[in-house]
Amino acid sequence: MSVFSLNGQRAVVTGANTGIGQAIAVGLAEAGAHVIAAGRRSCAETVAAIHAVGGSAEECVMDLADPAAGAAVLSQLGDLDILVNNAGIIRREDSVNYSEADWDDVMDVNLKAVFVLSQAFAKQALARGAAGRIVNIASLLSFQGGIRVPAYTASKHGVAGLTKIFANEWAAQNINANAVAPGYIATNNTEALRNDPQRAADILGRIPAGRWGDPTDIAGAVTFLCTPAAKYITGTILNVDGGWLAR
């Protein structure tokens, strides 16, 4: 079997109903995995896209606004080999005016859910002595401060830290934990930026690749990290940013 094959693997992708999550789900399925597309809204479109390319998939309702409930759902899905923590939200406001409610909402989905889902996944894998792959979706704001997104920035710094501690604690038990840090990708989350002519021009001018990223650019990196080809990679945050951080 190819070291780039995921045949026989069962994967969960959170936030898989659209954008980056949907692309990741399709990418994993194309590599041979059976994909459980999880989201707070229906992932029927994602499942249909996977079936259209000959893949295997099902959908699962998982609202990570309540991280503990999401972890409980994960624990009921049976044996799992791959967990992709992609679900995330963003709330924009000047830091001086940022509300506690927005802070809590963002941290619950973007950081607490990553911890409790990864914990549930690892418990399950360790109990049966199985290998596992965790890929967290970080951000350029795992390294930079950003503007008007204090909770998002804090949460994505936290995702980078969790990725490293998971690697430290679980690598010897064959559970690899890595993160992919997308650059500026054309998704719903960046629509406000792309609709601001000045911000959009400033961003594009710094990207050496000369374009905004596509969700499939992230899917390829995530899929690679889940394959046997990446078995000795753990604790890494892989930037997929068109060269943004190199500029």
- The helix/strand/coil state of 189 is helix
Give CA–CA dist 34/102, Å, rounded.
Answer: 35
Q: Are 122 and 176 spatial neighbours (Cβ–Cβ below 8 Å)?
A: no
Give CA–CA dist 136/159, Å, rounded.
Answer: 7
Give φ, ψ of 104 to 5 degrees. Answer: -65, -40
Q: Are 42 and 20 spatial neighbours (Cβ–Cβ below 8 Å)?
A: no
Where are the strands (E) in 50-157, listed by range? Answer: 56-61, 82-85, 132-137
* β-strand pairing of 56-61 with 82-85: unpaired
Query: What are 65's two structure tokens?
Result: 């606004």
The torsion of the CA quartet 11, 14, 154, 98, rounded to 10 degrees, works out to 180
Question: Element (H or E) spanning 166, and its range?
Answer: helix 150-170
In angstroms, how far is CA 15 from the centroid of its own chain? 8
Of the listed 98, 152, 184, 232, which one is catalytic?
152
184 catalytic? Reply is no
- The helix/strand/coil state of 54 is coil
* Residues carrying an active site annotation: 152
